[in-house]
Amino acid sequence: MADFLGMMKQAAQLQSKMKEMQAELDRVEVEGISGGGLVSVRMSAKMEVRAIKIDPSLVKADEVGVLEDLLVSAHADAHRKAEAAMQEKMKLLTGGLSLPPGLGL
């Protein structure tokens, strides 16, 4: 019984550390650049796109903002679909057993 309680305590500590790490990953931002700086994407370490910048020389000047917003939205949609596909694969892998909250991969 003591071993079980020790394991539960370790699991709680691990869950707490995972939450801290997730919060830290949300604060870390990186920027990817292509086309010699003509296009840039800023995102969190949790793979959430925060901003997309496109040099106006690549499109009509009055459409740049709309295009940037549409790209962020399209990425968010793809990310949601990827998450759903990953969860479905995990469900198959775990034989239909759901993981406890906070332990999703």
Q: What is the pLDDT of residues 12-34, one digit of tens each?
A: 888 888 888 878 877 888 899 99
Edge-first strand listing for the sheet containing 49-54: 29-34, 39-44, 49-54
Domain boundaries of the chain, sorted by first residue: 29-93
Residue whose entry in the numeric block shows the structure tokens 């009055």: 62
Q: What is the pLDDT of residues 39-92, one digit of tens each?
A: 998 888 888 888 888 898 888 888 888 888 888 888 888 888 888 887 887 777
The domain over range 29-93 is classified in CATH as 3.30.1310:
yes
Structure confidence at residue 33 (pLDDT): 92
Confirm whether pTM is higher than 0.85: no
Quote the CA–CA distance of 83 and 8 in Å, as a whole number.
28
